Amino acid sequence: MNTLPRILIAGELKVEYLFSTTGKLVVDQPGGNILYAAAGAALWSEGHHDIGLISKIGSNFPEESLEKVIDHGFNIGGVNRVDSYLEHRTFTAYSDLRTSYSESPISFFSKTGEEFPVSLLGYQVESYGSDQNSVDDQFILSEKDFPEDLRYANAAHLCPLDMQNHQLFPDLMRRADINFISIDPGDRYMQPTMYNEIPTILQGLTAFLPSERELVNLFQGRSDDIWEMMEALGSMGCSYIVVKSGEDGQKLYCTDSKKRYHVPAFPSNLVDITGAGDVFCGGFIAGLEKENDPLQAVLFGNIAASFAVEGSGAFYTDDVMEGLQLARLEKLKTFMREI
């Protein structure tokens, strides 16, 4: 069996502490946008070995957490340790499906009566590269983070990081002859003051995947029409603009044909929305690599996210019943429409 990955996912690897609305507590488990996106891609792939991960982790990243990622079959040849300490822990508690907080885990645990995890002592809310205008050189993704066996991939997706990584990554992928390249910008630089820098990311990109909130924020004072915003981004050199709109699903704009589509979210039993956008992006890039069709890719991403929100943790979608995603896919096709 060929074990070389077909799809690369780059982003932040985290150790997750999560309290869902159902009362389920996830403690000390691998997470981060990279694993949620990888899970979405794996749902439409031959197996987890199809997915290669690219990330930087600190000297303090727990070896047992990394072993869990390996045990799930992902290729971690592009996961590299740096000499510095990094705050990899991430804490999120939901009071309801759309309201969460992460600032005070000690206060949360004292109120709920749950035993406070010793491994969460000293937790601080921070993330490398959070300043869109600067990032430490050791956190810049470069060719040395891209081992030879990952260069046979056909598609790559970059999760939310700083602007500098998002400017450099597409060219790095193109030099490796990777055909499909997508970026989820997150909100680090989707600011009105950064508007004129956005073309440096979009030129030659296959797909740009912002949330609707991020898009509206970027275009403050310029436009209040979502489709007009998407067309403007497409004109900056990107083939497909996909806007994630939560329970309203996704909007797709194809730059060359100027076609517009709306795909509503597949009806799901909402339990935990953590990482849903990342799972969508992973499903999208897997669909694009598989079908070479942006609308099909949106459908793949939509269905991947529909499973992710029904449970907690980056590995929840591993247990999807075989064939169920195809059944949901066929049903979703009857809901989509061209605008």
Strand partners, 260: 253
Least confident of 41-55, 64-78, 142-156: 142-156
User: pLDDT, tens digit, for every residue of 88-110?
Assistant: 999 988 877 777 877 778 888 88
- Mean pLDDT, residues 286-312 taken together: 96
Supply the pLDDT for residue 129: 41
Supply the pLDDT for residue 112: 80
With a cut of 80, say whether residue 138 has pLDDT above it.
no
Q: Name the range with the highest mean pLDDT among 61-65, 95-99, 293-297, 320-324.
A: 293-297
With a cut of 90, say whether residue 49 has pLDDT above it.
no
- CA 88 – CA 11 distance, rounded (Å): 12
Supply the pLDDT for residue 134: 52
- CA 7 – CA 13 distance, rounded (Å): 17
Supply the pLDDT for residue 137: 62
User: pLDDT, tens digit, for every residue of 257-287?
Assistant: 999 999 999 999 988 899 999 999 999 999 9
Query: Which domains are delineated in the chain?
Result: 7-338 (3.40.1190.20)
- Mean pLDDT, residues 215-243 taken together: 97
Least confident of 11-20, 25-34, 95-104, 257-266: 95-104
Q: How far is CA 271 from the centre of its chain?
A: 19
- CA 271 – CA 189 distance, rounded (Å): 30
**What are the tokens at 229?**
């915003």
Least confident of 7-21, 54-68, 105-119, 298-312: 105-119
- Phi first, then psi, for residue 155 (nearest 5°) are -150, 155
With a cut of 50, say whether residue 130 has pLDDT above it.
no
Q: Predicted confidence band at 3 (pLDDT cuts at 50, 70, 90)?
A: confident
Write down the mean pLDDT value for the chain: 90
Q: Is the model more confident about 214 or about 110?
A: 214
Question: Strands, DSSP E only, in the chain?
Answer: 7-10, 14-19, 25-31, 51-57, 75-81, 89-96, 99-101, 155-158, 180-183, 207-208, 240-244, 250-254, 260-263, 337-338
Short-list 47, 50, 55, CA closest to 30: 55
Q: Is the model more confident about 171 or about 202?
A: 202
- CA 318 – CA 42 distance, rounded (Å): 8
- Mean pLDDT, residues 45-61 taken together: 91
Whether this model's pTM surpasses 0.85: yes
